[in-house]
Structures are given as C-alpha cells and as structure tokens.
Amino acid sequence: MPQRLFIAEKPALGRAIATALASLSGARPSPGRGYIDVGGDCVTWTIGHAYDTAEPGDYSSTWNKWSLDVLPMLPDKWKLIPNGDIADQIAVLKERIRRFDHFVNVGDAEREGQLIVDEILLENGVDPFSPKVSRVWVSSFVEKDVATAVAGAFPNAQKKSLYEAAVARQRADWLLGMNMSRVFGLMIQASGARGFRVSVGRVQTPTLKLVVDRDRQIENFKAVDHFAPSILFAHENGTFKAAWQFPPETPGLDPEGRLLDKSVATALVEKIAGKTGTIDHYAETPKSTSPPLPFALSTLQKACSQKFGLTAQQTLDVAQELYEKHKAITYPRSDSQHLPNSVHSDEAAGILRNLSGVRELSESAGKANPKLKSPAFDDKKVTDHHGIIPTSEASAARMAAMGEVERKVFLLIARTFVAQFHADYRYVASTATVLCEGERFRANGTRVVDQGWKTVFGAEEADEEEEAEGTLPSMRKSDPVVAKTGSVDPKRTKPPAHFDDGTLVEAMAKIHLYVLDQEVRARLREHDGIGTEATRASIIEKLIRSKYLERKQKGKRKLLVSTDAGRQLVDLLPSDLVAPDTTAMWESFLERVKAGEFTLAQFMDRQTQFVRKRVQTAIAAGAIKVKGFSIEPLEGHGAECPQCRIGKLITQAWPFKDEYTGRRFLRCDNWVKDRADNCRYRTNPEGFKERAPLEGEGGTCPGCGKGTLNGGIVRKDGPNKGRPFLICSEVDREKPEGCQHFEWKDATPCPSCGKAMLRRGTVTADTPNKGRPFLMCSAMDRNDPNSCRHFEWLDDKGKASGPKIKGEGETCGVCNKGRMMRRTAKTSGKPFLSCSNWKQGATDNCDNRIFPDDGGGRSGGRAGAKPAPGTRPRAGRPTAGKRSFGKSP
C-alpha cells in the first residue's frame, strides 16, 4: 500500500527525490504520467505556483468595476485560482492527493517554496500543518545530500511561520497593488486624463524611483573642470610619476578637495621643476586576491549585460535553457554566490575533468588543482541555493548543442568555477611619498608576482575597475630624487552612469546603498534589497510594458531610462509608496512573522490599516492632474448620469479624427469591459454642429420591420470617412443571425445600367490588390452573366483613382450600348477605359478599350469577341485579339 506522497516544487526536484528514495529503499522507480512511484511511496510535482491569487472580479462583480465607491477592496476570505497553464499537472496532483494519507512538502528551501506546496494541500482539503504532513529541506541536488534530507524529514508544522510569512507577502502585495493602482488611476481620471497608466507595486514602484532619480541626477549634473599637477621624479633606480597632495590651505580648492585654479597648478610645476627632493616614505606590501565568487543570478545578469548586452530577462531565459534543456548548469535562480563543501569533495574533480575536454577551457581546466579550496566553499554562507556552476554532465558534447549566446553565458559560468581551483592573484603594492620644496607628492605602483586565477580569463578579461599602475623603482627612505618635468593634467567630473539591466538589478539587490536613513539602511542590508533573484528581471520588463521605462541603445550598452509617464507617476505618488523605506519596514515585519514573533493576522491588520488610510487620503486630496494627459473638467463633470442613474459623468477628449478631435465632452463612466448592460451615454463635443437628419432616419427598418433606422457618419479614417449611413437599431454584431440592415445615404446611380446604385468596398482576398477600395454596381451578380458589370478603383481617400480620362463615362463608340469605364492595368498600373458592355458568358460582348498613352487613345479588340469558357479577362495592356480588363475583387 502507498505510504507517502512527496510533492516537489518542480519536476527536476521530483526526479531527484525519486532517485534518493530508490537509493534508500532499494525499490525501483516506476514513472507514471506526472508522477513516479518508488516502492510504497509516490513522488509528484508542480511547476511553480499551481494556484494564483484571485482577481478582484473573482470576489465580487462590483469589484470588477473601477470605482471609488468599492475602495478599498479588502477580502474577508482570500481566494486562489488554479493556474490554467498547468491544468493537466493540477489534475494529477488532485488525483494523487486523494490516494494518500501522509504527505511530504518538498518545496524549495525558502519562503516561496514553502508556500507553493502548502497551498496545494490546502486547496485540496489537507491541513498542511497536521501530524500527517512532513517537510524535506533540500539545499543541494547532490544525490547523497538529497538522500540525507529525505531521511531527515521533520514535521511540516515547524515551518508554519515561514508559510505565514509567504502568505503575508502575497496578500500585502495584492492589497497594495490592486487598491493603490485603482485609487490613483481613478483620481487621475477625475481630472479628465485618459491614456495615463497607473500601476503601483511594492517592489516595482521603488525600482522605478531608482531610475527616475538617477536620470534627474544626470540631467542636473554640472561638470567641474579641475587640475591634478604631477611631477616626473628621477631616482637612481628609475623614474616614476607622483601626484601633488594638496595642503588644506591651498587656494582654489572646492569643498570636495578639487583644485579649480589652473594657475595654482602651473605655479606648482614651475616651482618644483629641476629641484631635488627626498623619499619621505617607501613601502612594499605583498597582497593577493581570491578568485571571483561564482555567480548568483543578479551578478550573472550584471556580467552578461556588460559583456554581451543582454537584458536581465534574456540572461535568465538563457540560463534557464542551460539548466533545463542542456543540463549544463545548476539552479539558475540562486541568490547565493557560495558553494557547499560537498561540491568540493564530491563533484569538483569530475566537473573539471569534463571541462578540460572543452576547447576554450582545455588549458585552464587541465591545470586546475581540485585540491585547492577557495573562499567560495563555505557551508555557512550557502542559503536556499548555492552559486551557479557547471554540472557534472557539462561537457564538450553538451556545448555542441548550444547556440552562440548560450555558449558565451556557459563559458562565463564555467571559467568562474575553474578559477576557484587556481592560485590567488599575487602582487606587490608599493607606495612612495616625496618631499620637495616643502611640498608633498605621492606615487603608487604594482608589481605582479603571480597572475594566478587571472590566467583563466585571459588578458582581455582583466578587471576593468582596476586602474593600471606602473611599477615603482626600489627605493629607501631619504633617497634623493630630482624633479625632471611636470604636467598639469586637466580633469572633468563625470555624471553618474545611466542604469542598464545589470546595474539596475544590482541596485535592487543592494537597495540599502540608496537609502539615507541609517536604521532603514540596516534593515535593507539584512534582507538583501527588494525583489528576489527570480522576480527582478520580470519587474524591469513590467515597467517597460507599462511605458514607465524604455531601453535606449548607446554604443554596446542598452540603457534603461525613465519616460515622462514614469517620472510623473513617481512625482504624483506619496513618498511612502515610492521610497524603499516602506519595503524595508514590510520586510522587517515579514521576518518577525517568520520568526513567530508576529502573527499573520497582526501583520494583515497593519497592512489593512495602511491601505485604508492611504485610499482615504488619496480620495480626500481630490483629482490629480497629469501634465499632457489631464484636461479641464466641463460643467456637469461628476454629476449623476441622466440615462442609467448609476454612473457619473466624466470629461474626456473627443477621440475621433475629425474637425472635433481633442475637444471636450461628457461620458458616463458606468462601463465595464465585456458587460452587456454598459451605459453608452455621452454628450456632443464642444462646438458640435447638429447634422441635418437623413432621409428615412427615424423610420421603421425595411429589413426586419421592428427596429428604427438610426443615422450616422463614418468617422474612422479610410475610404468611407465622412459618408452618411442608416443602420437598424436592432443590428447586433455579436448576433449575426439578427437584423443586419445597413445602407449608405450618398450612393449614386450606376453609370452603366442606370438602375442600381454604386456601392463601395475593399478587396479582402490575398491578392496584389488586397486593401484597395473600389466602386461596383449593387446589381452585379457573379453567377449571372447578364447582370451589370460596372466596376472602378478608388484611391485611399475614396476618390476615383486619378484624373478623369477623356471619354470616361461616355457611350461606347463601338457598340453604342455600354459606357466607357475606367480600369487599371494590373501589370503596369496605368489607367485605361473599357466598355461596360461585357458580361462573362455572353455572346455579344463589346471589347472596346482606350489607352490614353497611345496619342489620344485607340480602340482595341472587337465587338462580339468571346472569352475562353470559364475564364476572366486578365489585367495588363492587351495585344491584338486579347482582352485587358483590370481584375475586379
């Protein structure tokens, strides 16, 4: 009989658990569809969140409407909605849960991982904190570590506070995002603004402020020219350059200690030139640097942005492919840069051996010493996941299947791992101080002793942040030196750099650096900034989709800059919604919930109070004007709608492209997408001139005999713009079986038959003429060869295509029956006239054609010519005996 159901957060973790169970029990895994049986146990999995937070409309139909009357939205009982993207796996989970009595939560070893599995159990009627639910805490995918974790399963109730912290975060985000986005959106709409998107989020809003603040710093930056005089000194062992150390009383210094007066610098150089000085101090200090730590996702995103120009999302996508498809790297959404000791003892040698078979890594991996242990290996610093490194399956064969960008990212990860097994980079840092004519000068130098791990990356990968320094000659205190020459090096201060994906992700991770309040800064440093490794890229993309940020290419960099809308949003929102201080406060309380010092109910009570107060304050402040989006309200703005008596009248700008474009009018706001009883009441725009009623307007529809004929004018751009029409009041586009009566009121009689009316149309068939407007006789019947065949092309504005050709509209001079109508040759595009007295299948067709480019025109063809059975005339200029009609649609 089955004993335990293990529910993993993802398929890969589920397979690792199944392998560990097989190792512990000796049973053979038996895969099923969406699960694996191992002896009496079963392992199944989800793929991220199986249930999403419900939308406002899922709670109440009234919440589906954007209205101040329903704010704040504070659910009494929170709802979750199944994730439709994994409906099949949810069905597997439901079926498996019904079969078992004991369950094991195998979510990732973190807050969100705890929530993902616990909510699955809750939604399927299982108390996740009852004695029948256990927890397996996996921090490493190494088989023996997974087996140890499975054997050490503990009661899931021990992680209840972690679950509550995750729920608190989820619900707080919902309350803030839904309510703040709506209240500020509605207050902006109250000013008559349209088209300004309002989206507020706990993380996305302070992230936007980072970019806005940086952009404004750059725009307001004033460059400062300053000078740094230096002297080339000669020592018996060689020459070196030393910079003047400004005394505090030096004239021309600004508050930042920069020398602004060039004359002071020039005088110093002239004073020192040719003089003899002495070495006041000289020291050599052996130093070394350890290899760079393996990548966390945020540091990988920064590196890929700088080196390859990838966005944060692109880096994540590539890393996910390397992880899932190629199985070449470990879990990519890691927030840790350290590695467990088990990787060093159990896996490193095998990984290095495989990497030595990769051409680009053969030398560095071949020379790597697997016994060396860099500071990256530290169990105490490994969090829920360890640093991103190659897997034991990463090899030349795996790389052969990778795309170009995938190879680049993989090699970046692999080189960083290989570097952990090379010696430290060792060098000697030397400093010297020179006294000359009462002035002090300082020089620094570097002498490389051993390149160590830097050989893994090559010379071109040298640390770009290190300033190149020369090597100082060996000296001793009191040694004489001579000032040979001097120079006044002009310098100019530079503004801070625009953010790109990499540096913005880094800023989000180190948000404490952007906070002035020391207490808040300490909280943020403790909680690793705002957002998570897995969500920061999506937050940036959401800000771009919302048109608050945009990317701009500058050289090799893709800069992230704020838009006018993004800046206005930051300016109009209260400081406690845009500053990271609020996020820090929430994270502090979430940590207290996690520690059991604060209950979920207490936390949510505070969040509810905050949201309720913020909504009330926003409403009391009144309408918010947004530059470029808001318009002055008309009289009657805010009044009750006279038609539905439910909505309120709001001022809007006339959206149609006609003589009233941009003018103000009132419209009822009682409209919700996809709702059948929407109120469509509106007033006319300012200065609107009532049109004269159309003939037949207000009468009974001749089509259905029930509806009333309503008149109108086409306002949409196109060939029919400005045309009057009548349409039955019973016409419903959603019900094609109902009345469809429609008629133009400016139709003209057909010039060919003189009986029917001309109607307009547009070619819809996928041909070279697709989209071209035309006129054709309403009596034309393709199945009746005796019906009128009148047809002519129109230009994009609904007019005849080109100036009138001589003879156009006149009686045919050959048959004396038809009229000469304009056509266009398909191949040459040139206009010509042809007789309308041509009907497919008829025996008395007139084939008269006139080409205006033939010196006044000439007739072609002959009366009575017959087309081939079942064919239509082809466009193009005819040769003798061949017709050349433009093809009608």
Report pLDDT digits (tens) over 100-116.
999 999 998 778 889 99
Q: What is the pLDDT of residue 884?
A: 30
Q: Is 30 left (phi over 0), alpha (psi -120 to 50) or beta?
A: beta
Q: Is 336 within a domain?
A: yes
**Pair (644, 710) in one structural domain:** no
**Is 80 exceeded by the pLDDT of residue 309?**
yes
**Pair (778, 723) in one structural domain:** no
Q: Is 32 within a domain?
A: no
Q: Which residue has the higher pLDDT, 503 or 836?
A: 503
**Is 90 exceeded by the pLDDT of residue 255?**
no
Q: Is 848 within a domain?
A: yes
- Calpha distance 550→572 (Å, rounded): 20
Query: What is the band of 421 on the pLDDT scale with cuts at 50, 70, 90?
Result: very high
pLDDT in tens, 677-727: 678 888 988 888 877 888 888 899 998 898 899 888 887 776 677 788 899
**Is 90 exceeded by the pLDDT of residue 660?**
no
pTM above 0.75, yes or no: no
Nearest to 378 by CA among 411, 339, 435, 321: 339
Q: What is the pLDDT of residue 855?
A: 45
Question: Average model confidence (pLDDT) for the chain?
Answer: 86
Q: What is the pLDDT of residue 860?
A: 43
**Pair (724, 856) in one structural domain:** no
- Find the CATH number of the domain harbouring 575: 1.10.460.10
Q: What is the pLDDT of residue 515?
A: 81
**Pair (340, 401) in one structural domain:** yes
**Pair (785, 854) in one structural domain:** yes
Q: What is the pLDDT of residue 171?
A: 95
Count of structural domains within the chain: 6
Concatenating the DSSP letter of every residue in 744-758 gives ESS--B-TTTSSSBE
**Is 90 exceeded by the pLDDT of residue 833?**
no
- Calpha distance 672→652 (Å, rounded): 17
| 329-333, 497-501, 775-779, 800-804: least confidently modelled range | 800-804
**Pair (281, 404) in one structural domain:** no
Name the most confidently modeled range: 189-193, 327-331, 839-843. Answer: 327-331
**Is 70 exceeded by the pLDDT of residue 457?**
yes
Q: Of 445, 477, 492, which residue is a domain's last? A: 492
**Pair (389, 446) in one structural domain:** no
pLDDT in tens, 368-390: 999 999 999 999 888 767 899 99
**Pair (879, 800) in one structural domain:** yes
Query: What is the band of 633 on the pLDDT scale with cuts at 50, 70, 90?
Result: confident
**Pair (504, 610) in one structural domain:** yes
Q: What is the pLDDT of residue 808?
A: 74
**Is 80 exceeded by the pLDDT of residue 656?**
no
Q: Which residues are catalytic?
A: 331
**Is 60 exceeded by the pLDDT of residue 872?**
no
**Pair (753, 741) in one structural domain:** no
Q: What is the pLDDT of residue 419?
A: 98
Q: Is 522 left (phi over 0), alpha (psi -120 to 50) or beta?
A: alpha
Query: What is the band of 138 on the pLDDT scale with cuts at 50, 70, 90?
Result: confident
**Is 80 exceeded by the pLDDT of residue 751?**
no
Q: What is the pLDDT of residue 463?
A: 45
Q: What is the pLDDT of residue 27?
A: 94
**Is 50 exceeded by the pLDDT of residue 774?**
yes
Q: Is 165 within a domain?
A: no
Query: What is the band of 756 on the pLDDT scale with cuts at 50, 70, 90?
Result: confident
Q: Is 51 within a domain?
A: no
| 196-205, 283-292, 830-839: least confidently modelled range | 830-839
Query: What is the band of 499 on the pLDDT scale with cuts at 50, 70, 90?
Result: very high
Query: What is the band of 889 on the pLDDT scale with cuts at 50, 70, 90?
Result: very low
Structure tokens at 423: 């010696």
Q: Of 673, 706, 733, which residue is a domain's last? A: 673
Average confidence (pLDDT) over 862-878 = 35
- Environment class of residue 33 by beta-carbon count within 10 Å: exposed (0-12), middle (13-18) or buried (19+)? exposed
Range of the domain at 282: 225-290+426-492
Q: Is 776 within a domain?
A: yes
Taking a C-beta distance cutoff of 8 angstroms, is the pair 168, 593 a contact? yes
- Calpha distance 815→837 (Å, rounded): 8
pLDDT in tens, 13-60: 899 899 999 999 999 999 999 999 999 999 999 998 999 999 999 999
Q: Is 789 within a domain?
A: yes
**Pair (441, 402) in one structural domain:** no
Average confidence (pLDDT) over 318-323 = 90
Q: Which residue has the higher pLDDT, 71 or 843?
A: 71
**Pair (284, 433) in one structural domain:** yes
Q: Of 594, 621, 648, which residue is a domain's last? A: 621
Average confidence (pLDDT) over 479-485 = 96
Nearest to 411 by CA among 335, 359, 346, 350: 359
Q: Is 580 within a domain?
A: yes
Structure tokens at 656: 């149609």
Show the DSSP H helices in 447-559 as ranges: 454-457, 501-509, 518-526, 536-545
Average confidence (pLDDT) over 248-267 = 93
Query: What is the band of 885 on the pLDDT scale with cuts at 50, 70, 90?
Result: very low
Q: What is the pLDDT of residue 879?
A: 32
